[in-house]
Every structure is written in C-alpha cells, then in structure tokens.
C-alpha cells in the first residue's frame, strides 16, 4: 500500500525517535528524574521570557486578520528585514530582506534548498559523523549522498578527502557547525580549506558547487568560541538557520534560509526556493512565530545552563572511565563506546535507565551520542549510574 521508498524507512525507522518513545515509557514507570534520557536534542530549558511576552503582545495588539493570514510565501517582509539587519550587524555581511526565505525550521530549509537545486543523480557530500536525516532529505529529490569520513581525533573535515570525493555530479556539500553529534565547532582554517578546495574544483569542472551550512546550533557555543559566517569565505554559500535550539522553539518550526546575492544564479534560486516552499506544502513559515522572531531577534536561551551540563557530564563520564572530546558547541557529547559493538553497550545501559543514541545513527559506529540538553539534576543522578554501568562492562 505504501511506496517503495517509504517502505525502506518503515523497516529502519529512526533510532533516535524510537529511543524517544522508549524513554517516554520508561519515565512513566520510573519517574522523570530516574530515567537518564540522553537520546533526543529536545531543549530542556524554556524559551527566553521575551518569547512568551512577544506572543501575548502580538496577539493583543496586531490586526488578527493580517496576523493569522497568508503572506508572501517568502515570509513577512518586515520580519526578513529585521533578521537580515541583525545578521549584517553581527557578521559584517550585506544581506537584504530579499536574500531571506522564512522556513518551518532547518529541516524545512534543507528540503527547500535541495528540492530547488537537485536533479536526479546529483551528488551531495557530507562528512561523517552526520545527522542521518540528511540522507533522507537528499533522497527525497533522488540525489545521491556521498560520505567523506572525518578524522576521529578531532572530527574536522579533511580538505584533501573532500577534494577526492568531488565529481562532475557534485552539486552541494552540507556542513554543520557547531556540530551534531560531536559538539565540534569548525575553526576558520577549516572553512578556508573547504572554500579553497571548492573554488578550485569549481574552476576545474566549470560548474557551481554550493556549500550548504546547517546552523541550528550557531548560538550554542562556549568559552567565546567564534563561529565564522561562511558566506564571507565562499560565494556559493547557502545558510540554513533554525530557532529550535537558540530560542528553545523546536516544536514551533521556525527558521530561515539565506541565499546571498553572490551565489551563482541567486535570483533564480530565491524565486525557485520560494516556490518550493509552497509546493512542498509548507506554503509559508508559521505567521505568528515569524512575528515573534522579529521581536526576539537578539534573544538567546541561557547558555550557562548548557555549559554547566556540559562540564558536569564530561567530567562525570571521564571519572566513570569513558572517553570523548570536549565539545565547544551544541549540546552533545560524542563518546567512544567501551565495547566494540556500541549497540550491545546501549542495551546494557538500559538496565541502568540510561538511554543513548548509537554512533551508527550518525554513520559512525563505535560511538555514542549523549544529548545533555536535559535537566542538570538528571545529569547529576546519572553519574553513579554510569559508574555502575562501567563496572559491569569492565567485568564482562
């Protein structure tokens, strides 16, 4: 009854989501604080106060017909202007409202831009580990996902490997910094190297290759680390942004695409992406939340909360004998599995009410992803559980 493409998904439904459902059930049995659910990137801190204040103010004071009605598929123009002004001020760019398309979050933005540029058989390069849904998004438009492995010492893309992977079918590269699942932030040097390779290959192949930067974690960085703005390094850049994490609005589906004037075919891409927004069924990003963003454009969630969790969990895991790199951004730890088969380790961990996502869900087996966007109390309570778990595993 269902399509062949969808049948393959039914068989291997997202492990992350399966964990989410499992976690829900365990919590019903053992209580919220006694299940250590590191499985889902669902922010555990509320949106900043400004958000709910903005919602109430907008609903009380704006014309309800215009507020809840259709607008241009690209999104409210005044909202796009406020956001582009804010980006320009922060990063010294030169965008206008016309360069932005409001989207229903980053998953929407990625689908829209891939629908816009991909012909069947076009290749899209990602660096593993990577968010596995990139593969689904690319497959939606009959593109081919090409994986390039990162070095597991620092999880940074390697320019030489990228160069080797580029063919005359390469249409785009997707990068993600701050990075899910590793928490790594790409330094300027990495972006420069990627840009250099892409510029060279573009000339060599006589075609445009787009660098798509998926940036839902841009605001979630620690110790004043810089997240460079890629359009300043490479002209065929496309930025996919989401407020899911920066404003804890994951369920509301709000974000935007930036298509700079410097990108080849910029005007056509903006026009086609606006149509793609409509015909894929998004039509437009939710209206009320577009207007909320305009009023909260410089608001941010409490990064101190995540920072505290980061250090607490990192140190606790180290004490328990687990290894991982210290993340500079996002809210994930990417931990080396103490057992060769990380699925086996994850199964044993469930006995201690610890839920984690296998590295294989990011095309990087032998690792575990722990999302520390949960309550600090849960993290504190989890450390003794991790120690017991490691005790059992070490004695197998």
* Region binding a second copy by CB under 8 A among candidate stretches 17-25, 89-97, 155-163, 333-341: 17-25
Query: Residues 148, 162: contact at Cβ < 8 Å?
Result: yes
CA angle in degrees (0–180, nearest 5) for 229-158-232: 20
Based on CB atoms, which residue is closest to a second copy, 7 or 94? 7
CA end-to-end distance (rounded Å), the chain: 46
CB of 331 to a second copy, least distance (A): 13
Q: CB of 180: closest distance to a second copy in angstroms?
A: 14
Choose, by CB under 8 A, the member of 87, 117, 195, 390 that binds a second copy: 117
Residues 246-265 that bind a second copy (CB under 8 A): 248-253, 264-265
Within 160-219, the residues that bind a second copy by CB under 8 A are 208
Q: Please give the size of the binding site for a second copy, defined by CB under 8 A.
A: 81
Q: How many CB atoms lie within 10 A of CB 322?
A: 20
Instruction: Determine the Cα–Cα distance for residues 253 and 290; give it in Å rounded to an integer.
Output: 10
Measure the CA–CA gap between 375 and 33, rounded to whole angstroms: 8
Q: 183 in helix, strand or coil?
A: coil
Q: Is the separation of the CB atoms in 88 and 95 below 8 Å?
A: yes
Of 25, 28, 33, 52, the residue at the interface with a second copy (CB under 8 A) is 52
Please select the residue that binds a second copy; options are 31, 32, 46, 323, rule is CB under 8 A. 46
| Residue 271 C-beta: closest distance to a second copy, Å | 6
In angstroms, what is the minimal distance from the CB of 384 to a second copy? 25
Tell me how far apart the alpha carbons of residues 322 and 314 are, in angstroms, rounded to a whole number.
Answer: 9
Residue 323 CB, shortest distance to a second copy, in Å, is: 29
| Segment contacting a second copy by CB under 8 A, of 31-39, 78-86, 183-191, 276-284 | 276-284
Nearer to a second copy, 68 or 318 (CB): 68
Cβ 142 to a second copy shortest distance, Å: 8
Q: Which is nearer to a second copy, 10 or 396 (CB)?
A: 10
Query: What are the backbone angles phi and psi of residue 290, rounded to the nearest 5°?
Result: -60, -45
Answer for which of 19, 107, 148, 294 binds a second copy (CB under 8 A) is 107
Which one among 19, 26, 35, 40 touches a second copy, defined by CB under 8 A? 40
Does residue 269 interact with a second copy by CB under 8 A? yes
Q: How far is residue 331's CA from residue 337's CA, in Å, rounded to a whole number? A: 19
Q: CB 55 → a second copy: shortest distance, Å?
A: 5
The percent helix, strand, coil of the chain (3-state, each to 5) is 45, 15, 40
Residues 6 or more apart in contact with residue 335 via CB below 8 angstroms: 317, 322, 323, 324, 356, 367, 368, 369, 370
Give the three-state DSSP class for 124. strand
Of 3 and 394, which has the nearer Cβ to a second copy?
3
């Amino acid at each position: 009854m269902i399509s062949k493409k969808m049948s393959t998904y039914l068989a291997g439904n997202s492990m992350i989501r399966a964990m989410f459902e499992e976690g829900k059930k365990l919590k019903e049995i053992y209580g919220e604080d006694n299940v250590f659910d590191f499985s889902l990137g669902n922010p555990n801190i509320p949106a900043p106060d400004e958000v709910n204040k903005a919602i109430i103010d907008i609903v009380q004071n704006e014309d309800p017909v215009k507020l809840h009605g259709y607008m241009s598929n690209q999104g409210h123009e005044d909202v796009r202007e406020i956001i582009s002004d804010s980006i320009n001020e922060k990063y010294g760019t030169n965008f206008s409202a016309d360069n932005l398309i409001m989207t229903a979050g980053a998953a929407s933005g990625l689908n829209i831009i891939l629908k816009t540029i991909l012909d069947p058989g076009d290749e899209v390069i990602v660096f593993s580990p990577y968010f596995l849904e990139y593969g689904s998004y690319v497959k939606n438009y009959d593109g081919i996902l090409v994986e390039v492995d990162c070095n597991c010492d620092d999880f940074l893309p390697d320019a030489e490997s990228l160069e080797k992977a580029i063919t005359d079918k390469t249409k785009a590269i997707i990068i993600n910094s701050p990075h899910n699942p590793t928490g790594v932030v790409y330094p300027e040097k990495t972006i420069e190297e990627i840009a250099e390779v892409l510029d060279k290959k573009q000339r060599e192949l006589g075609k445009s290759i787009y660098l798509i930067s998926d940036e839902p974690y841009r605001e979630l960085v620690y110790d004043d680390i810089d997240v460079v703005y890629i359009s300043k390094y490479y002209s065929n850049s496309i930025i996919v942004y989401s407020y899911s994490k920066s404003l804890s609005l994951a369920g509301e589906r709000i974000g935007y695409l930036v298509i700079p004037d410097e990108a080849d075919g910029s005007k056509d891409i903006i026009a086609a992406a606006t149509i793609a927004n409509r015909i894929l069924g998004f039509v437009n990003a939710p209206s009320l939340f577009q207007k909320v963003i305009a009023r909260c454009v410089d608001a941010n969630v409490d990064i101190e909360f995540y920072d505290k969790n980061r250090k607490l969990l990192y140190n606790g895991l180290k004490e328990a004998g687990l290894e991982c790199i210290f993340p500079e951004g996002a809210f994930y730890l990417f931990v080396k599995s103490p057992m060769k088969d990380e699925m086996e380790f994850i199964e044993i961990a469930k006995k201690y009410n610890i839920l984690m996502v296998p590295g294989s869900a990011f095309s990087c087996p032998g690792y575990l992803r722990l999302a520390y966007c949960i309550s600090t109390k849960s993290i504190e309570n989890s450390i003794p559980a991790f120690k017991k778990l490691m005790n059992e595993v070490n004695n197998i």
